[in-house]
């Protein structure tokens, strides 16, 4: 490492430490909600740990997955750690994805008195998230007359997954990919299924494809808020690194302030 490179890293370290202190102050003063606080805290801490690792490689026991620049939207966008803590729940995400529309979501009517295709899809969506089994039947009615409708196939597949029928759900997802590999919605659900099965490499690849499709900002924001990226990020780490991070996070929850000692401990653990 050249003196110039070290100086740049040290400057970045000081900037991140200052940002963490400012973040803590804003949160304690009530100027920031908890979700934004957790998001930024995790991002800054990951970045700081990476800088410390570069400054002192001898303290690193394992390779840490690198995070890309914040504005990157390409193949490795999922790797960012700027996601919030939370449980894996996709009802909100599904609503956002459905609302944005797609080429398969026109207003062309299906025969009968149930209204337009769009109205039927909306009805099935609501039914599905209340009662998965009834949602499956609802989508069957659409697919009987529009067997290649991407939305119906995708969200019926998710209803199957939520009804503990992942094999049937995966079959729906595979059919969607065969019809249109660029359909973004299905990639999120495939990533969720893979992550649940602890196949984090496949889950990461699915989110790579999701971001490569240039999804709307609203879908990205809701996706991140559900914690799937975080689950994949930590799933790809070895158990020692993951345990180290969890210990540091627990210390923070107990009131430890961000300071150089804390980051040194995290860096040496990593």
pLDDT, position 105: 43
- In this prediction, residue 214 carries a pLDDT of 84
Assess whether pLDDT exceeds 50 at residue 189. yes
- Residue among 180, 181, 265, 187 at smallest CA distance from 219: 187
All domains of the chain in start order, with CATH: 3-64+237-269 (no CATH), 103-180 (1.25.40.10)
92: pLDDT strictly greater than 60: no
Integer Cα distance of 97 and 184 in angstroms: 9
In whole angstroms, what is the distance from residue 17 CA to residue 44 CA? 8
Confidence of residue 261 (pLDDT cuts 50, 70, 90): low
Tens of pLDDT, residues 38-87: 777 777 677 777 777 777 665 443 333 333 333 333 333 333 222 222 22
pTM of the predicted structure, to 2 decimals: 0.55
What is the per-residue pLDDT for 91?
46
pLDDT digits (tens, 9 = 90+) for 232-245: 887 887 777 767 76
Cβ density class 202-236: b for 16+ within 10 Å, e for less? ebbbbbbbbbeeebeeebbebbbbbbbbbbbbebb
Q: Which residues of 120-137 are buried (b: 16+ CB within 10 A; e: fewer)?
A: bbebbbebbbeebeebbe
Contact 101, 218 (CB under 8 A): no
Q: Residue 13: what pLDDT?
A: 75
């Amino acid at each position: 490492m050249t003196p110039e490179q070290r100086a740049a890293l040290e400057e970045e370290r000081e900037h991140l430490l200052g940002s963490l202190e400012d973040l803590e102050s804003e949160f304690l003063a009530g100027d920031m909600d908890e979700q934004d606080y957790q998001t930024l805290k995790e991002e800054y801490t990951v970045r700081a740990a990476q800088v410390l690792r570069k400054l002192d490689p001898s303290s690193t026991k394992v390779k840490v997955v690198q995070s890309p620049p914040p504005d990157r939207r390409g193949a490795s966008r999922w790797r960012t750690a700027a996601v919030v803590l939370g449980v894996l729940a996709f009802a909100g995400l599904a609503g956002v994805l459905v609302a944005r529309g797609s080429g398969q979501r026109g207003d062309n009517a299906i025969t009968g008195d149930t209204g337009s295709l769009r109205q039927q899809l909306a009805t099935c969506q609501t039914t599905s998230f209340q009662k998965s089994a009834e949602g499956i039947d609802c989508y069957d009615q659409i697919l009987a007359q529009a067997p290649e409708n991407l939305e119906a196939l995708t969200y019926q597949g998710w209803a199957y997954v939520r009804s503990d029928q992942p094999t049937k759900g995966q079959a729906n997802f595979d059919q969607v990919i065969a019809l249109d590999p660029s359909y973004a919605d299905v990639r999120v659900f495939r990533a969720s299924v893979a992550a649940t099965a602890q196949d984090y490499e496949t889950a990461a690849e699915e989110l790579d494809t999701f971001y490569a499709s240039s999804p709307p900002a609203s879908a990205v924001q809701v996706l991140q808020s559900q914690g799937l990226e975080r689950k994949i990020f930590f799933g790809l780490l070895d158990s020692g690194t993951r345990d180290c991070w969890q210990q540091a996070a627990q210390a923070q929850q107990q009131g430890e302030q961000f300071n150089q000692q804390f980051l040194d401990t995290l860096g040496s653990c990593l």
